Amino acid sequence: MKRNKCLIVLAMLTWCLMASAQWSRGLQAPLEKGAFETGQYRNLFVEMGYRPNEVEQKLHEVFNDVFRGPNKVYFEVGDSMGYISDIKNHDARTEGMSYGMMIAVQFGEKDIFDRLWRWAKKYMQHQSGIREGYFAWSCKTDGQRNSDGAASDGELYFITALLFASNQWGNDTDINYKAEAQHILNCVQPKEYEPAPRQGGFPGFGPQQTGPQKMYLIDPETQLITFTPDGFGQRYTDPSYHIPAFYEVWAKWADDGRSDYWMQCAAKSREYLHKAINPQTGLNPDMSQFDGSELQMPRFPGRQQRPQGAPRRNGSSNFRYDSWRVPMNIALDYEWSCADKEWQRQYGETIQNFLYSQGIDTFVDQYRVDGSLPEENEILQAGGFRKLRHSIGLVATSAAASVMCSHDKRREFIKALWEAKHEPFEDGYFDAYYDGLLRLFAFMHLSGHYRVIFPPSVRKFTTGPVSATVDTGAGGKILSFSYNGKEVLSQSRMPESFGSTFWTSPQKEWNWPPVPEFDKYRYTIDQDGDTLTITSSESARLGLRVSKSFYTNKRDQSLTVRYAIINSGKQARKVAPWEISRVPNNGGWIFFESPVEGITPAGLMPFKAAEGVAWYQTDTTNENRKVNADGKGWLAYLNDGLLLVKQFEDLSADAPAPGEAEIQVYVNRGKTYIELESQGAYMTLAPGERLTWTVKWHLSPYNGEVPSKKAVKAVKKMMK
């Protein structure tokens, strides 16, 4: 008996070790498509083995550290405003204000977002003059400006955050978010001005220019963002200001007539990053010329020049505070767009490899781009300290790069961020502001909570008492079909157990899981009057796209769904349409016009024959079951006084795809859900060709007996 117990314990330990190993191997392969297309995000913490509720709790703790904790950097002013302060510098900056707005909209914190925007608009944004629409980059916390000049990354974030707020909350509250974003976009277009004498701590540097100048956020020649939109600062750029996916947001939702231009800016920005980043170390300079080369500093009268032949030591060409943001920004572009995925994956591993070589717990926060350490006079000071540190800001952004990586080192970067404590160094230095914000952004990235915020994806259709909702953002599924608010479709949120979806047939072409482009990813929208048409992205595996058109019919209070399968590949494909609708399994009836003896496999479900119709009252077993039948162009489901009828083309027995059928019923094991399935004809599509197939949905009360002639008559009446 003792021996048996030992064997049991040993088996349990072995199982635990195997389970632990399985968790440790849980990190998925890098993305192939971005969230603009898929609407999907990875949670790398969960993939690492951290529990989902543990990750959510940690994320909100980090958020509260920034906005509500004892070391917070967010402060409310009166009933309607608030600001984020760089505590160590005693000011509020467009960097932090716009970061705060982006974080707030990502977390759905409308009050925080609106307070920050009102403060920024009142104190920072110029409302007239040559700088109209731009923001003073630094203000005292009472709103007094330290400088009138702008730093271009503030405008970049303000515009994007406002567009996301428009998508999330609409423009009918007291702030018209889209109009505010459009106003900034219109103001930052190139315009001529006469420079005024410089005052205050302007973020650009170099001798003041005289005579007429042009002011612009985006350099017209290179289409790259400037360091500052006027003066010497618009002659160069900052790699950490380059977030190409933000331009894609502008192209999609700014509605400012410049969509093509913003997409070009995104492409140019990606090209620039290739040039600005050292290919051996993955490090980038704080600032650079537009071609990615070292920033050429102006000569200042009276300043001692370096001896002839001495090596140049320009601290602005080193990897330091601004530079930390680049790994996180490239990760964001990769997650959202994936337009430059091969290079971005290589970049992510390159910079992690370099930092790892310096020690996962000891790499410092400033380097020359070749990986050597800067001399003391090159080190950029912060908070009165000139010192190299192992800063949590860089710990955070280098961990965020893990989303692009495949190598095992990414695990150590993720773990290092998870375990890092944001607390003062031994000498007293503590940065609640910059380190805190970057730490929060990194946690958002790695938990899948830094997302593209699309306009509302759920569309509603109503005709009389019948209504339907369609989610264009998650596979174009019909989520609801109801009569006077009474639902007929399954609303269970278990995976693959709710609503109605659409697949291509036969299943053997893709096996399982369903093709994500058709079943899970976002669809593009085209509204033509009362008809909503949505189109999937192309399935890389099948070379097919799917479109769905929805419209209601007032005469019979029905919903029509017209499906299309488009061959967008280069080879002919044989394919059939397939609609799958999930309904509750709680004692309802399923019936259709077919001889019971023709239902296969025979006897798998207890069908009864009556009135020329096959009837099945839903039941449960411990096994999944599925039957095929040759019907007569309709499939009905009766439950809780509601009769659902789906009407489609009647097929001959040989018309469906091999192994498939005009009508299919799938019963999930246990008392969970049932799938009502119907398929169209199997046909060959040449490249560029499409097939169309229509299903008409009817829903009406019915309280008669079943099986019965009355129920069959009710079905036939609904389909007239």
Question: Are 224 and 218 contacting, i.e. CB atoms less than 8 angstroms apart?
Answer: yes
Nearest to 245 by CA among 533, 31, 531: 31
CB 663 within 8 A of CB 677: yes
Q: Is the peptide bond before 707 cis (omega within 30 degrees of 0)?
A: yes
Distance CA 489, CA 498 (A): 7
Asked if residues 77 and 114 have their Cβ atoms less than 8 Å apart, the reply is no
* Residues annotated catalytic, as ranges: 95, 322
CA distance 607 to 612: 12
DSSP string, 573-595: EEEEEEEEEEEE-SS-EEEESS-
What number of other Cβ atoms are within 10 A of residue 15's Cβ?
10
177 close to 165: Cβ distance less than 8 angstroms: yes
What do you get for the CA distance between the two ends of the chain, in Å?
74
CA 90/CA 141 separation, integer angstroms? 7
Residue 308's CB is within 10 A of a number of other CB atoms, namely: 5
* Residue indicated by tokens 């009569």: 483
Distance of alpha carbon 292 from alpha carbon 273, whole angstroms: 7
Rounded Cα gap, residues 24 and 597, in angstroms: 52
Residue in the block written with tokens 């947001």:
249
Task: Say which residue the tokens 């083995």 belong to.
Answer: 49
Q: What is the largest CA-CA distance in the chain?
A: 104
Per the CB < 8 A criterion, the answer to whether 165 and 105 are in contact is: yes
**Residue carrying structure tokens 């955050």:** 161
